[in-house]
Structure 1
């Protein structure tokens, strides 16, 4: 499915009146995993600023032991500190990578900003090397922007 088509579906989920914020995030994760062939695990982590850690709030894919990630640890923890997108073509080449599954080959993490503050991120793993490109990055930035405007 093309990203433009998916934008309409994501917008519809965000606008749903009969589900809470957590459920909307979970539904977005499930939609992305189901509709984008190279998205094998999709999750939203949110910051617990007091403890300098990320907490997994919603996901679709295989369960993970990494429900709490300290700032600076792994790709997600690095994005919590850098406030910048992080595309990884080959997770084995990263010395600060936290392995969620032996099948993961590449990862993309995009921070979610509310009022110019990084409050969380969308994290996507793929079982395909070099799975992500600028189109994925732009699409995921759009999703986070819509979530920030309409859910927070």
Structure 2
């Protein structure tokens, strides 16, 4: 597939329904994990204009910044620390409507107001997390969870 996206307007679910097959096509035939994570980050940022989209990868019992789109970010996050470390420890998706109300939130940017973090599995083992931040309060829902999990499943 050509490395460009067809960006559409509409409600969030319609946007995901258009984006998921495009991401699948981008990943098809590419086995390099970093390249694929970079393209997923870019596609999500371009379609939804989220404040920050990126991956943290498990290395030596901490999360280390991986491919992302957005302003500079925290480089390392400890296990169970912040939203990312908690999602990693619990191995579950966390939707945080207001990051200021999340105990132990790590403020990489004061502009981030809401967040969704999803575990990333490679070969049935947790390998990191996908972190998506918004400058808007309560900007993520079960629709985001459903489609972001579907996108991450394309990596296996």
State the match for 1:131 in structure 2. 139
Indicate which of 107, 121, 127 corresponds to 2:115.
107
* Inter-partner Cα distance in structure 2 for 1:22 and 1:114: 12
**In the TM superposition, what is the alpha-carbon distance from 1:16 to its structure 2 partner?**
5.1
**In the TM superposition, what is the alpha-carbon distance from 1:24 to its structure 2 partner?**
2.3
Helix, strand or coil for the counterpart of 1:104? coil
State the match for 1:44 in structure 2. 55
Q: Any idea what the Cα deviations from partners look like across 1:37-83, whole Å, max 9, x if unmatched?
A: 4x2110011112xx31011110001111x111110111001111110
Indicate which of 64, 71, 79 corresponds to 1:55.
64
State the match for 1:78 in structure 2. 86
* Inter-partner Cα distance in structure 2 for 1:93 and 1:21: 33
Indicate which of 120, 127, 130 corresponds to 1:119.
127
Indicate which of 2, 5, 17 corresponds to 1:4.
17
Indicate which of 15, 27, 46 corresponds to 2:28.
15
* Inter-partner Cα distance in structure 2 for 1:11 and 1:89: 28
Q: TM-score, normalised by structure 1?
A: 0.88
Is 1:141 aligned to residue 149 of structure 2? yes
State the match for 2:43 in structure 1. 31
* Inter-partner Cα distance in structure 2 for 1:24 and 1:85: 20
Tell me how many residue pairs correspond in the alignment. 143
Over aligned residues, Cα RMSD in angstroms?
Answer: 1.5
**In the TM superposition, what is the alpha-carbon distance from 1:128 to its structure 2 partner?**
0.6
